[in-house]
Amino acid sequence: MVCAFITSVGHPDDEYEIALEESEGGLHRDSVVRLRKLMTVHESIVKGRIGSIEGEKLERIQEKIRDLFAF
């Protein structure tokens, strides 16, 4: 499983950080997805789902990941 870091402290000039509003994805405060900080996690250590991102925001994140890896 590939995961991206999510934090409430972002860098507004980084094109690979996608802003999420408090109401999106089950978050408790405005946050950013840091696509330059990806990690792999074995599914066996994941205990549950915290939230989810859908629709246009998910498509934007997927597009930025493709751009980041140039494919």
Instruction: Name the domain count of the chain.
Output: 1
Asked whether the beta carbons of 57 and 20 are under 8 A apart, the reply is yes
Contacts 24+ apart (CB under 8 A), 65-71: 65/35, 65/38, 68/16, 68/35, 68/36
d(CA 45, CA 11): 29
pTM check: above 0.85: no
Domain containing 64 equals 2-69
The tens digit of pLDDT for each residue in 36-71 reads 999 999 999 988 887 788 899 999 999 999 999 886
pLDDT at 25 over 80: no
Amino acid at 21: E
Q: What CATH number should be reported for the domain holding residue 17?
A: 2.30.30.110
